[in-house]
């Protein structure tokens, strides 16, 4: 493993190792090894970030390293200099390059040019670090992942794609339900199934959540989709996660959301802030998951 641009860059064995380390290092009083002592990690952000930046910076610090956060206007990828040159420069100083980009192809070009590990902190195609945090959350909540059922209702976006791959690698079943025209890409569904994943596509959101251990949704209007906001809200209205939809999953099902959330749109306040919501555990696990991922990447070099 050299780069993690999508969850499938991890083997099932590596995925289990990342989750095991995340769980172990999370324990009170755990001795987290200073694998980055005397080294830096570059954190490049072409898009705004709250949880991703703070969790990753904190992860680097607790591994003994120094996070170097860089904003888009400070670098100007492919405007001031090429993605390849940016990657080579940052790799000169830093042990790991992590980036949140608009175009996934920029990450691929950086990974090809850099001689240090490159980690995807979010792109238009994937959000693997979020998916790792979600698996860690589900593992804690459910006591295991194998054979568990996850229902994702809403936009078939980058988060949904990474979750689909993550479910396949971890032995979970995943059910996807989206309005027509907003489904997860066929390539992702086929890829997850080729990995042995059980992926169901269900048009009716109420039917999709039946028997699910967790119900997951995301914002209807992601960054870059603002010009489609009105059309998206109209199309997604039947996919709102309210008490009725969550109850259709069963009394033990939990609610998940990667945030930021919009109460009254993709989820009601009653569900998001209710006792079955584990969104704040997901937030906490963002740091633990990315710390373990960076730790494994550094250890394997």
Of the residues 9, 124, 134, 218, only one is catalytic, namely: 218
The bridge status of strand 40-45 relative to strand 96-100 is parallel
Any catalytic annotation for residue 78?
no
- CATH architecture assigned to 7-127+286-299: 3-Layer(aba) Sandwich (3.40)
Considering all CA atoms of the chain, what is the largest pairwise distance in Å, rounded to the nearest integer?
54
Is residue 52 exposed (0-12), middle (13-18) or buried (19+ Cβ within 10 Å)?
Answer: buried
Q: What is the mean pLDDT of the chain?
A: 97
Task: Catalytic residue, from 130, 139, 240, 282: name it.
Answer: 130
218 is catalytic: yes
Catalytic, out of 39, 53, 100, 232: 100
Token pair listed for 17:
């190792």
Residue range 202-240, pLDDT digits in tens: 999 999 999 999 999 999 987 777 888 899 999 999 999
pLDDT of 67 = 98
Q: Tell me if domain 7-127+286-299 and domain 130-282 are identical in fold.
A: yes
The one catalytic residue in 51, 258, 288, 291 is 258
Tell me whether residue 258 is one of the annotated catalytic residues. Answer: yes
Given the residues 17, 51, 127, 291, the one annotated as active site: 127
Q: List Cβ<8 Å contacts ≥24 apart for 19-25.
A: 19/132, 19/135, 19/136, 19/139, 19/289, 19/292, 21/292, 21/295, 21/296, 22/132, 22/136, 22/285, 22/288, 22/289, 22/291, 22/292, 23/136, 23/139, 23/140, 23/288, 25/288, 25/291, 25/292, 25/295
- Joined together, the tokens standing for residue 289 give 């998951």
Q: How far apart are CA 295 and CA 299, in angstroms?
A: 6
Is residue 293 a contact partner of residue 162, using CB atoms and an 8 Å limit? no
Q: How confident is the model at residue 1 (pLDDT cuts 50, 70, 90)?
A: low
Domains of the chain, residue spans: 7-127+286-299, 130-282
Which of the 8 DSSP states describes residue 239?
G
**Three-state SS for 4?**
strand
Cβ atoms of 299 and 32 within 8 Å: the answer is no
As given in the structure block, the two tokens for residue 147 are: 């054979």
Could you say which architecture CATH assigns to the domain 130-282? 3-Layer(aba) Sandwich (3.40)
Q: Are 52 and 60 in contact (CB under 8 A)?
A: no
Pairing of strands 173-177, 198-201: parallel
pLDDT tens-digit profile of 145-197? 999 999 999 999 999 999 999 999 999 999 999 999 999 999 999 999 999 99
pTM of the model: 0.97
Answer yes or no: is pLDDT of 198 > 90: yes
At residue 116, the pLDDT reads 97
Instruction: Calculate mean pLDDT across residues 105-113.
Output: 98
Euclidean distance between CA atoms 229 and 204, whole angstroms: 22
Is 130 a residue of the active site? yes
Among residues 39, 51, 257, 286, the one annotated as catalytic is 286
Q: Would you call 247 a catalytic residue per the annotation?
A: no
Residue 94 falls in the annotated catalytic set: no
Q: What is the tens place of the pLDDT at every residue in 259-269?
A: 999 999 999 99
Strands, sheet with 214-217, edge to edge from the N-terminal-most edge strand: 198-201, 173-177, 149-153, 214-217, 254-257
């Amino acid at each position: 493993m050299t780069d993690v641009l999508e969850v499938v860059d991890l083997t099932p064995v590596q995925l289990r190792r990342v989750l095991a380390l995340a769980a172990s290092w999370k324990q009170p009083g755990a001795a987290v090894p200073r694998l980055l002592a005397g080294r830096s990690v570059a954190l490049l952000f072409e898009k705004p970030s709250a949880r991703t930046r703070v969790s990753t910076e904190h992860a680097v610090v607790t591994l003994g390293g120094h996070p170097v956060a860089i904003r888009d206007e400070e670098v100007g990828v492919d405007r001031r200099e090429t993605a390849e040159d940016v990657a080579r420069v940052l790799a000169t100083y830093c042990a790991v390059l992590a980036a949140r980009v608009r175009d996934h192809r920029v990450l691929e070009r950086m990974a090809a040019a850099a001689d240090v590990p490159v980690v995807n902190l979010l792109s238009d195609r994937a959000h693997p670090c979020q998916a790792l945090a979600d698996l860690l959350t589900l593992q804690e909540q459910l006591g295991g992942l194998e054979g568990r059922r996850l229902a994702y209702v809403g936009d078939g976006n980058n988060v949904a794609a990474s979750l689909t791959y993550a479910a396949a690698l971890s032995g979970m079943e995943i059910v996807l339900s989206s309005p027509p025209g907003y489904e997860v890409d066929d390539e992702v569904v086929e890829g997850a199934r080729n990995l042995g994943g059980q992926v169901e596509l269900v048009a009716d959101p109420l039917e999709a959540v039946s028997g699910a251990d967790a119900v997951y949704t995301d914002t209807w209007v992601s960054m870059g989709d603002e010009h489609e906001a009105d059309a998206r809200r109209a199309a997604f209205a039947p996919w709102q996660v309210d008490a009725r939809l969550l109850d259709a999953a069963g009394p033990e099902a939990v609610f998940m959301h990667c945030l930021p959330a919009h109460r009254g749109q993709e989820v009601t306040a009653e569900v998001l802030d209710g006792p079955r919501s584990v969104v704040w555990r997901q937030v906490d696990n963002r740091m633990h998951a990315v710390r373990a991922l960076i730790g494994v990447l550094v250890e394997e070099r």
